[in-house]
Structure 1
């Protein structure tokens, strides 16, 4: 029948508008005799346009109509198609999404009637409904036909949105269960003698066991057989093996109606090399002695589905405790992680980016992450023991083991990826997990998932987005350091009774288990999400606290921080999820007083512990810029100093935390071996922070007193350890102040302004504060305490030219500009260089004077009663010994050796060695002693929260210093012996190099 050109043009346009890609071909199909009764019905075209592939749906409809056996059947189909919208949507939806199911309908033209029923009971059928659907199957061929008929209804519900992906996957698993039961019944009917000898249970594994099966997937099973009462066990197992083999063939073999799916029993003990059927006791013997970690992971989804239900349940009940104990195996977490990596490594290179299931960011990443978390935490939390991925993920989120946002994103991504997988497989009912490359395939899939405007572009964009989310969250959850630590705990350590917990705390070294129990109760009681996360963290944290010299203090400090940040949503999430944050916090909180005290005053600084870069010291320029900005926003000098102190507090914590973590090491990162580099990092960071704080204070004073411009140029010169970039946590800031009147400003006015600046800076920095003090010490200025606090450049020049003593030249070796007018600071440094690096070096009288001063200092300044072998500053082989020796070399040879012209002790010592002024062995001895003494001073401040030049007398404090220095508990005697030995060797070098 020909169609007028006008009608053709109108139809052609309508077909394009309804999503047909071949409107000419569609017109020919609509003109076919088979559709003569319905071709003009607009409802048909609208319904076709709503399908994933209108061209495919129309072709399938024509084939189905033409396959009807007689005109009456054809008329029934077409009438129902037009009058019953549910049938129209379901039938055309299937035909537009699945060429394979269209083929089935063309072969079995009456099966379309399976889609007519649309009752509530039909929406979510279970195993019993599917068993009724398969009841008429008597052989493998008819079983396949019945299976496809059931699959037809299931797919219709899926593509029409009546069921979501979770329900669809569960229905597929239930259909597989019914099919396995039908196949086993056929096998038993074919061999009644075998059936009479044995009990046989079929255990579903993998996706079938987890109620999350695909359209086309192997159905993984394990067989358990037992002899009936009175039967020989060996013969019974043989009989069960024949039944199992027959059942597998019924499902797996190809017939004229194709295949159903392969039944795969390779997850059984010993895999394909092991017997197909084992008794329950044989299974248990294997799992107890030989099974690998991955086999227990697989058993997480085990579920009895066919055969003897009591035997199947007995199997699951027997293996379940083993599943939830597997996390206690040595290296369990790393083994699972390595297994996942091997899977990715085995993907062909050309398929990695298209691999939906096994590739990075694919379905397996979600499943492995969820399973790993289940196996670690499910030992003590039975709510996590589900074989279904999304159910388990929801339970992990409810229990606080996974963040809510992370869980929602992972759930969304998994649903999308599983839906995508289903749509790919549904087309030809072939097992594949590769994203197709053909545009027609991508268009059909995109439209089937509701993407109608730009289906290919939108599909690719959504796929990449979800894959990226999965990849990120998989890395975050699957490689979470806390997991390995939790896995290493015995089950009893995760959930303890009060008495057992007390005993455990005593065993871990807690001195006051009663107080510790009260802290634990306060942190973890209740049903809140916060308490649930704390219950996950605390067992591990208790062990890390116990690795310190004062576990009680660590736990108390943790409670204080948790109370301070209790309502902050990111805090516990950070500890649970981010890198080594939890272990880092445990180390910091149990290492002494200074870092916890700083953290209590700036608890948000916990965030620094979750990022390796967060513990890196910030450059001086950044620190100064932040301090100046904070000062600029403050009202008045006092508020400005408060703001500057806030920055200093956080940055001091950053430095302390990095120092402690590097000194203690973590389970993933060993302690830093280069102690000298660590000392340099701390000294540089604290010195830069002090310089930035002084710059901010100076800015505030000038702004409040004079606005933008001070009447005189003003600079701060660092001296001593400050100038040497060697400040410790409790060091004072030795400084000199220099000023130069601006043009046209009287000297008196300039001097008054400069003195006011110094006085106000000292006042502001001395205001009471709970932070570590920052004291300005100007006693190294000309004339000492009796001289003016600030001088002009000319005054310094006059003094040094006429009155300077050799010790002042020595002190100026550490002088460095740090704040204020940079040009003026540079001019001061240029002025003093000839003094500190005198031409031709020192004369004999000057050398003798330096030696005399050093000997006098040793005899007069060492505190009364102090042990000279343990005093880090003035004691034998301590800081003073090393520094004076190095500084003498600088004064003698600095004029000739540029490398000696540095304010830093270790740099100068290395330069002297390189220049041949001191043997390498002697230089190494001095360097080791200087680094050790500096670390002891830093340790004392970290542990006690106040500065000290000798080892603490309190046993716990002494033990904490030992842990910081790398000594195991109980070895403080070794620490003191090593210190004495190291400094004794250094003193010998000093005697030889300084006093000879």
Structure 2
């Protein structure tokens, strides 16, 4: 759209006054159509600029001569210009005047670039924010020096001189300041104490209060030169009744115990403008847990919904629908959308802990939390509305967000936005606001038709049942009608849950449950196994009821209840796992994600997202994120497994890849930590770490189940006893790798609020529990060659690298192949394997009392594994391809292909193995002992026993 050439008669007369002054003083006026069009647009859109140029003609002449009107400022330009403007300022009156003259010049420049179209929106907001930052920083610097000279120096207990930290809130905090905005500031100081070297006794609080008052006056007081920025300090703790400046400890107490929910919303954009860097870091670390909860905080949505209701009510009362900031489809609604997701998810996703709303929206699009179309429309709406806001305020440099009512102002507004007239501008504005309001309503829509309860009769009846308002017979009839097979049992569970929960939860918790239970009961009743699902879902709700944010999450996302009821009816594993780790409820929000578990590449990408923002030295947070990663992905595998989305035989592939990705990342984090302290080990072949993690047992065999331990062995590539690391704090290679192994085990096994990552068994290393935690590959090879028992070579069949140095992995593969392909006495081998199996069965078989141990019982999984290991060790010397694999299924396939076992033995063993493994998995998901009734799987067990007898016992 072309900018119309029209100007207000009054403002045009101001330009004529400046031209007359320029002619008298010999100032050259740019003679170009581009300048003329830009000047006309600015004078048409800003009476403020026209007046300031008329009253201070030399200022505009200097802007023209310097070229600043026509260029984009670079980093530091404003700061350097203000430093020069304040040179020689030595008292508050001179400071006030210099700041106001500087602001006047820069404000005229910024409005010019905005209205002329030379400055993009991003530039305008950045310049305005940087102008405020510079004025705050440099004014505070001078005022602090002067106040210290008058009152003394505020110090901490160790005598360190303290500085004031100024937090910018709102648009300034996000560096999104508009053309005539207040600046919201909070003043803080690190520590209570006394002012030293002053004329009289004074506390630090008194000093910083006085300093804050001086800063507010220097920036906000109206003088003959105007003001710099209107300053609002009411967002501080306790508002206007609170101290102007507060120490960190007092602020922490306030935000932990007394702050209101809207203060979390406000604090999202808080940014320290000035202060000591270490003090700022301390304050930010203290505030972060207040703003961003560790868990998914869906209670924030209801809080913001209520805040929006109050704003809408106030606007309606005042008749302010024309307010483009607070009205329907206004700027505030866009900010609420972004900040709702930040409050809900920012504790889990640190990348969401950012301030500018456009960056937030873009990230929500990347995370697929908002549809691409919504992100685009919200971003376009935000840019359009911010430009409208700036043009409203550019007219007279006044803080207004209300669209004009008189015709002349409307036409001027339209022209400033690049439209021919109001009639062409208004529909575009309305369309943007309608789209914004639509997306706002989508995000903040009340759950379950909150606005129309009369249309949900059944829900209303279940709400009454939950409140205990029905007689027993009425309640039973309603539950039977709802779909419960045993309404008596269902009523017992509901009554018991209500009685228990009333003693546990707060008033807010009771309100949340009053919303949730009428939603939950019909959803559970409609599930396939309603009675089982009800008992298990109620157990979960009891576990999370004190954390009302989880109840809010379920209210906001009834789809979670649907998935929960479905899966809980199939297996108690889900509700038990979720009861221990409610953070995992997040995994159930999106059914597409829930039933689509990730493979290795996707797992690594998810780890990048989770761990990328974490401080490399924050071990606790690293461990928490790793546990959330592993548990969330196991939950997805279990959901896809139970519902048949993935076949049973690939379940272990998924679970094994989760473990591999986890162990690999633990190794990377641990290596980075130790190398930062001690450097890299020296004299290591190749460019790798010289460290290798071997997976044995189920991990090595790619056969992990739910809750499986990890059998690990660590080896390193250093053969020198004297080699040292190359860092400043050098240690021997042996020490380095021992610490590496110890820290890895610590990260994997330590119990955190999210539980353990994996249980780890290191007893398969050379010399077992008495052996060194980490051995060199040379020592490992020598042990396997000369000292290992037959059962250790059996274990080697299922050993493979899962993380670490690729070169060392190749060396291990050579050692393993050489050992497995060794020629052995078949009879001695058979005796050794048989004796070890007998010992294992004697110690581990839990069969009895009518139950059969799926793994250790005669004809169970372990018998098949031992037969496969025997076959590999017996025939690999002649058939080295038997050393290619570590998993039983592919080893049995290989044995069948080369026809080493009699008849259909290999095929029969493979079939029985798959059936027994399936039963083992199901037992894990039902959280039952890994046993079955004696009368189950009789054919498979008998076949395995017969094959064992034929192959291992040589029964007649």
Alignment TM-score, normalising by the size of structure 2: 0.46
Q: Which has the larger radius of gyration?
A: 1
